[in-house]
Each structure stands twice: as C-alpha cells, then as structure tokens.
Amino acid sequence: MARASRGLGAALDRSQRLTSRGKRDSRTRSRLRETWTVCAGLFLLLAAPAAAQTSPSGGADDAVATPGVGQRVVLVTGSTSGLGRAVARALAERGDHLLIHGRSEERGRALVDEINAGSPGSARFYRADFASLDEVRVLAAAVLRDYDRLDVLVNNAGILPANDPVRRESRDGHELTFQVNYLAGYLLTDLLLPLLQASAPARIVNVASITSYPIDFDDVMLERGYRGMRAYGQSKLAQVMHAIDLAAATQGTGVTANAVHPASAMDTNMIEGAGLRPRSSVMEGRDNVLLLIESDDVGTGQFFVDGRPSRARYGQPYDAAARAALRRLSEELIRR
C-alpha cells in the first residue's frame, strides 16, 4: 500500500505555509520528498539483502496473524524484552493486534507465539536494527504494505550505553544512541504518520525519561566530550521535543502524541546491562505507558511522569527555536 508521507516536517511546514510566502514552491518540494520517501522505502523492501528483506516482512514461512474487524493495531518498537514486551503482553490480553519489533528474531518470535497461542489478541514480528536508517525505512514500508490501519505507535526501542566509554556510530554515521533512541523513531513516525492519521483516533507514545541532558546544537553527535549518560540524556530530551512538535503538527487530525517517563531504574536488561540497581518494576513502567494508550484524559503534547503531565528538567522542549533546530537537523539527517 503506497501512501504519500505527510510527516512531521511536512505537517509543520504545511501549517507555516498558510501564513508564509513561497507556498507553491514549498508544497512542490514537500510532495516530491513525500513521494520519494515512500518510493525509496518500497524500493528498499524489494531490493534489500535477503536477511533484511525477509525479517521485516514477517518471513515467508510464518503463519501470519492478521487483525480482525475492530481489533486495534499497535506497533511497539523494542518489544522483544523489558518494558516493550510487558506493554505488548498487556495489550494482547486486552485483545489488540501487536506488531512486535526488535533485533532478536528468537525473542520476537517467542513473544509472537506466546501471544497467538495464549491471549485474546494476536501478533506478528518485524525485525529491524535501528542502527540503520535503511532498516527503519524497510520496517515502515513493510507495515504500510501489510496493514491498512495503525491505531497506536509506541516509540520504545532504546539503548543506555552507561558503562561504555567508547563513542559509537550508527551505520549512517550518526552518534549511535541519538539514532537508536530518537532519530530512528523520528523517521519511523514520519513514514507512518499518514497511516496513523487515516486511522484516527490514533496515538503516538514516545517512551522518554526524566534522565535528560540539553542538546548542544554545535555538537549533537558528541564528537567532543562524549559520555554515555549524556548521549542517553540528550536522546531522551529529543524524544520529548519530538512529541511536543508532533502534537502541534497533528492538531485537529485525531492523532495525539505524548512522551512518558515510564519509571526509574526498572528491572530490565537495560538497567542490568548498565550495572545499575533496579528501583522499580517493569510493571510500574508498563502501567504508565498503558495510561497514555488507554486513558481518555491524557490530551496531547505532554510529558507524563508518575502518571501526570509534568515538565522536563531542561527547557529545550518548551523552546520553539530549539525544537525547530532539532526538527531541521532531523529532517537533514533522515534525508539521503
């Protein structure tokens, strides 16, 4: 299914176009970019190497579960373990159709089998490594091909390189944590936004954190003074900024966008891998994410902490110029 992308940059551009000059040029550029993005995704889907092609497409040998009439379709990125898996399990218990995503084929398929065998819901696995923007494009193209609706997108996949003193780069040459935690979700949301809007009411939930760090726009890729916690913190603040921008871009479309701090130091692989002592359970975090998916009272453009709208520790999410700078940078980075 080929839909033209009308993502965040384009949507905000569109609202600005109402009041700015050069309307026609901007629209033409936007349309060209939209068409190109979807064509590129579909091309990648067809032309990607065999491993990448079969995995995001669900695999030819799958007994593929498809959503029933009225069944909500929910994509949870990073749902092969930890918080994402707990959220996916809970939604499957409520009867939803889950798109399980991660890199681990083994854990992904185990969860799909578990959901399809033992819950009122259903599930299907999509593999994509967010260290590659091409794999994000392939994932988006596969979702657009396989589904004619998407009710909820949870941008949850993430890494915490707390103990890794080495600055690492994605396959696209960007600082790895910035890409996996933020930029990949930005691109995925951009590509899936038309489907979410066509499925409205729909929700986008960015799983961010109260652990945050202001973005230095002169060194976003942290080429100077890299620290793992700083990389993590700026990527999580970027997710909050993204949710606020998305809320503005989707106003009046029936799509809402919020960010959430699930809970602090949950008992997940991430915290164990960082050598930190768990201070909360993944069930606590799960319930805080579910609130944003289920509640009628969450509105849009908010950052939720402990189940309530809250303010991020740093001011950039509330600074329109900082959000515009991040948006411009993100649009440049996802353009090839």
Ligand X SMILES: NC(=O)c1ccc[n+]([C@@H]2O[C@H](COP(=O)([O-])OP(=O)(O)OC[C@H]3O[C@@H](n4cnc5c(N)ncnc54)[C@H](OP(=O)(O)O)[C@@H]3O)[C@@H](O)[C@H]2O)c1
Active site positions, annotated: 232
Pick the piece of the chain touching ligand X (CB under 6 A) from 9-17, 28-36, 261-269, 307-315. 261-269
Name the residue type at position 325: A
Task: Quickly list DSSP for 80-131.
Answer: SSHHHHHHHHHHHHTT-EEEEEES-HHHHHHHHHHHHHHSSSEEEEEE--TT
> Taking CB under 6 A as the rule, does residue 265 contact ligand X?
yes
> Taking CB under 6 A as the rule, does residue 153 contact ligand X?
no
Nearer CB in complex with ligand X: 12/111? 111
> Taking CB under 6 A as the rule, does residue 163 contact ligand X?
no
> Taking CB under 6 A as the rule, does residue 76 contact ligand X?
no
What's the CA gap between 76 and 5, in Å, rounded? 20
Q: Which residues pair with 304 in a beta bridge?
A: 260, 309
> Can you tell me which of 270, 292, 333, 334 binds ligand X, judged by CB under 6 A?
270
In the bound state, the residue with its beta carbon closest to ligand X is 82
> Taking CB under 6 A as the rule, does residue 156 contact ligand X?
yes
Nearer CB in complex with ligand X: 42/270? 270
H-helix or E-strand containing 207? Answer: strand 202-207
> Taking CB under 6 A as the rule, does residue 316 contact ligand X?
no
Nearer CB in complex with ligand X: 12/289? 289
Report the nearest approach of ligand X to the CB of residue 79 (Å): 6
What does the angle CA 267 – CA 115 – CA 57 come to, to the nearest 5 degrees?
100
> Taking CB under 6 A as the rule, does residue 103 contact ligand X?
yes
Report the nearest approach of ligand X to the CB of residue 199 (Å): 23
Write the CA distances from 202 to 22, 150, 207, 329, integer angstroms: 32, 7, 16, 26
Nearer CB in complex with ligand X: 31/171? 171
> Taking CB under 6 A as the rule, does residue 228 contact ligand X?
no
Nearer CB in complex with ligand X: 76/249? 76
What's the CA gap between 284 and 306, in Å, rounded? 9
Pick the piece of the chain touching ligand X (CB under 6 A) from 111-119, 123-131, 189-197, 217-225. 123-131
What's the CA gap between 131 and 128, in Å, rounded? 9
Secondary structure (3-state) at 71: coil
Residues in region 190-209 near ligand X by CB under 6 A: 207, 209
> Taking CB under 6 A as the rule, does residue 14 contact ligand X?
no
248 burial (CB, 10 Å; 0-12 / 13-18 / 19+) is middle
Sheet holding 308-310, edge to edge: 122-127, 97-102, 73-76, 152-155, 202-207, 255-261, 303-305, 308-310
Pick the piece of the chain touching ligand X (CB under 6 A) from 14-22, 25-33, 101-109, 142-150. 101-109
Q: Considering only CA atoms, which of 178, 154, 99, 196 is closest in space to residue 293?
A: 154
Size of site (CB under 6 A) for ligand X: 30
Q: Give the per-residue contact string, 44-63, with ligand X (x = CB under 6 A; - = no).
A: --------------------
> Taking CB under 6 A as the rule, does residue 271 contact ligand X?
yes
| 208 DSSP assignment | -
Residues forming the site for ligand X (CB under 6 A)? 78-84, 102-104, 107, 129-131, 156-159, 180, 207, 209, 261-262, 264-266, 268-271
